[in-house]
Amino acid sequence: MPAPRRGTQGVRAEGYGARVRRRVLVTDATEFLGPGVVARFLAEGDEVVDVAEPLRSRAQVEALVAQHGPFDVLVANLEAPITVAPVEEHDDATLAELFDRLVHPLFWLLGACLPPMREQGAGIVVVPTSATVLRSSSHPIAGYEAARAAQAALVRSVAREVAGDGVRVNGLAPNFIENPSYFPPETVADPDFQRAVRAEVPARRLGSAEEAAAVVWWLASPESSYVHGTVVPTDGAGGSVERPRRTFRPGGCAAAPGHSGCR
């Protein structure tokens, strides 16, 4: 089990004036938005339990929460590779892996973390999903999109269940964000990839890990205290406009084969 790491400042608790140190759980901490999120919460003075290993069972999650919880904030950062294939080629093993990594762990995390939050009358859950929950990809990634859409549906449904208990559940819909899982440094540095990004993303650049972490932090902060059940677009306006078919694809950039692709 991971050992908690502590920041030095602390934050203002919702409804209180004093600065407090919150206990934060971040999953898949070395993947997707995890590194930037961990760094931001530590910089803000929170105590962070960052879990790098995949969550493969309810018992594993319950043991984690029993040992290190209860948590004031859960960042359910979950990562899975993108399968690019027509829907008829999504076999059972592919679908099982996607849902075992993106959907089932979210149910387990909510089941273990929410009861103490509801009992204490306060708590925050933030779920990074994907921009595909707001606008479908132009590439055949139906299995991945379905799993991410399930996450967004959980955010909206569970938010209604727990809002009256002082618990907030929200998500964000990122794309075109520098991260080790989908846009690693070797991809970002390639000139062909950079040209493709400028052509496709209205903001004409990738977002940084720090910018994505800032959205997570805002959703976990008192500044968003009346925000419940929303999924915040975080994609440089990439999902806001009609675009031609992408010049790079999940799993490989057309201009530079072998690159990690967009999500």
Domain that holds residue 44: 5-183+206-234
Q: Computed over its alpha carbons, how large is the radius of gyration of the chain?
A: 18
pLDDT tens track for 186-226: 989 999 999 999 998 999 999 999 999 999 999 999 999 99
Q: How far apart, in whole angstroms, are the C-alpha atoms of residue 22 and residue 181?
A: 27
Instruction: Annotate 75-109 with DSSP letters as a single string.
Output: E-----PPP-S-GGG--HHHHHHHHHHHTHHHHHH
Residue whose token pair is 């999924």: 231
pLDDT tens track for 49-70: 999 999 999 999 999 999 999 9
Q: How far apart, in whole angstroms, are the C-alpha atoms of residue 255 and residue 195?
A: 9
Structure token pair of residue 58: 């309810």
User: Does residue 191 lie in a domain region?
Assistant: no
Q: The domain that contains 160 carries what CATH number? A: 3.40.50.720
132 and 148 Cβ atoms separated by less than 8 Å: yes
User: Does residue 172 lie in a domain region?
Assistant: yes
Number of structural domains the chain divides into:
1
User: Does residue 244 lie in a domain region?
Assistant: no
User: Does residue 119 lie in a domain region?
Assistant: yes
CA proximity to 79, closest of 3, 153, 156, 182? 182
Are β-strands 23-26 and 47-50 bridged in parallel, bridged antiparallel, or unpaired? parallel
Q: Per mean pLDDT, which range of 25-29, 201-205, 227-231 is the poorest?
A: 201-205
User: Does residue 83 lie in a domain region?
Assistant: yes
CA proximity to 147, closest of 111, 184, 107? 107
pLDDT tens track for 154-174: 999 999 999 999 999 999 999
Tell me 179's DSSP state: B
pLDDT of 7: 64
User: Does residue 188 lie in a domain region?
Assistant: no
User: Does residue 239 lie in a domain region?
Assistant: no
Catalytic residues: 144
Mean pLDDT (whole number) for 44-50: 98
Q: How many CB atoms lie within 10 A of CB 251?
A: 19
User: Does residue 226 lie in a domain region?
Assistant: yes
The b-or-e profile of 179-197 (16+ CB within 10 A means b, else e) is: bbbbbeeebeebeebbebb
